[in-house]
Amino acid sequence: RLSRQRDCRCDDGAVARYAARVSGPLLDRIDLHVPVPAVAWSDLDAPASPTGSTEARARVLAARTVQERRLASLGAPGIEPPRTNA
């Protein structure tokens, strides 16, 4: 029903039953609902661009630096700051 690429084959009753079953226990625990469109198989099947170890390391270090700055303001006396496992 939400996909623009293909039609839903479920009848209205099946959709209503599924929505009722999912919405109760799951959706009332989620504060943010984001519709995610389907991804074309050709996009998923395309070869990924290779990332070398040096580039990956640089990206990880940059992300850690950003997080360290972001989390520095959360520190309080007697509370250990967040740390990584590496």
Write the single-letter amino acid at 72.
Answer: A
Residue 62, domain member (yes or no): no
Q: What is the pLDDT along the chain (86 residues), one digit of tens a residue?
A: 556 677 778 888 988 888 888 777 776 777 777 888 888 888 888 888 778 899 999 999 999 888 888 877 776 666 776 677 76
Residue 83, domain member (yes or no): no
HEC per residue, the chain? CCCCCCCCCCCHHHHHHHHHHHHCCCHHHCCCCCCCCCCCHHHHHCCCCCCCHHHHHHHHHHHHHHHHHHHHCCCCCCCCCCCCCC
Residue 77, domain member (yes or no): no
Residue 17, domain member (yes or no): yes
**Total of domains in the chain:** 1
Tell me the residue range of the domain where 22 lies. Answer: 12-45
Token code pair at residue 17 = 């039953």
